[in-house]
Amino acid sequence: MLHYSTFLLLTFSIFSSQTLSTSLSTNFTSPIGINYGQVANNLPPPASVLPLLHSLSVTRVKLYDTDPRVLSAFANTGIEFIVGLPDQLVPRLARDPSAASSWVRSSILPHLPATKITAITVGNEVLTGNDTTLIRSLVPAMVSVQSALTALGLDGKIMVTTAHSLAVLETSFPPSGGAFRKELVPYLSQLLTFLQNTGSPFLINAYPYFAYKADPKSVSLNYVLFEPNSGVVDSSSGLRYDNMLHAQVDAVRTAIRKVTPSNAKVEIRVSETGWPSKGDNDEAGATPENAQRYNGNLLRIISQNKGTPAAPGEPLQVYVFALFNENLKPGPSSERHYGLFQPDGTPAYNLGTVSGSGLGTTGGKGNSGNVRSGGTAESPAAQIGLVSSTGYYSTSGSKILMPFCLEKLGVLAAVLLLGWYSF
């Protein structure tokens, strides 16, 4: 049996060598993040996860809690964390600001500054749930957390926000017609005022997979997978959309503009997106091939730091779900197969190039255990740039040599170490 301290030493060695290879190859930093869900009973220890993240060039991680094991394991690594405050705490923090102060002091403060916590999500998909007390408590709880951070001088370092299901929209297509559900507008208006005043982003969980699964005969697979297609023109704005994710984001953008002042500026970030590599018989499209194409093409497009058709100058920040397949997630089989990796560290599917037109290195979907509500958006899809099988990244006409082969070896080494450790 490999001693755990030796395991950690070898893991650190792998990480250090990969860090050197990355710095020697133009200091590439991924603009994409990943959701680290833990609704499972067979995941590896957090300390062994770092090489897997580095192999993907991921520098941003989103948690659904403030697990001290994870936050401590990633101290002094430079990885940026979004951490979560659970739904069940929201009403209490809304009623009692001192409870928010206690939570920040016990759950956040002990990890600073060694662990780079950049944002706190208060609850998850609260507004599309059925708990009216929770819905009414959301913004007051966010205000309480913000006040607690301000009292500690952390308000300029840690943002406060919350993530939403695409089901907050009443209309999602065309993007120029995006509108929030009428019954949610009072809460969203209050929330958006808070976000604008604090400079925090609006987080949306967007899954083109749900739209395809609901109507595979009408929704173009190429459109949802970012593959070449004829695209869809928004008849009102005249903008052409060649992938569904961008259409969904711009529908949210339109909805926000309808309930905020004309000079309001609120950044939109995709806090979850992904594609399952396996599903039940009635879950169309849930295959390893489609997961590879979706996530590979997504990484390629996001890496170009471009925005959506309605906001081309605003690079879109995306967090893919999930790092691992999570065997205890409830719901259909697909819920347990959004991960890039199996719990033993082996890839859930081929993470190489995607049929010559993408780099397959991310995947997922997630929640703290709940099955997500799907949003809708319609029609055809895109291809921008290329990642060749040589490991060269083509961006705006220039080539960047990525440490592709070395990082794949790093993943292999990490997998071997995980195997030795579990043995």
Catalytic residue positions? 125, 272
* CA atoms of 409 and 54, how far apart (whole Å): 12
Collapse the DSSP code of 232 into the 3-class scheme (helix H, G, I; strand E, B; otherwise coil) and give the result.
strand
Tell me 354's DSSP state.
S
Sign of CA dihedral 317, 187, 241, 376: positive
Q: Which two tokens mark 334?
A: 């697909």
Q: DSSP of 49-117, one letter per residue?
A: THHHHHHTT--EEE-SS--HHHHHHTTTS--EEEEEE-GGGHHHHHH-HHHHHHHIIIIIGGGTTTSEE
Q: Which two tokens mark 270?
A: 């995709």
**Contact of 341 with 291, CB cutoff 8 Å:** no
- For residues 143-182, one letter each, b for 16 or more C-beta atoms within 10 angstroms of the residue's C-beta and e for the rest, the string is bbbbbbbeebebbeebbbbbbbbbbbbeebbbbbbbebee
Q: Which two tokens mark 352?
A: 């190489």
> What are the C-alpha distances in Å from 14 to residues 74, 79, 298, 348, 408?
15, 17, 27, 21, 11
**Contact of 281 with 343, CB cutoff 8 Å:** no
* CA atoms of 275 and 291, how far apart (whole Å): 5
* CA atoms of 47 and 54, how far apart (whole Å): 12
Which residues lie across from 399 on neighbouring strands?
394
* CA atoms of 91 and 109, how far apart (whole Å): 22
Closest alpha carbon to 187 in 153, 137, 232? 137
* CA atoms of 192 and 265, how far apart (whole Å): 10
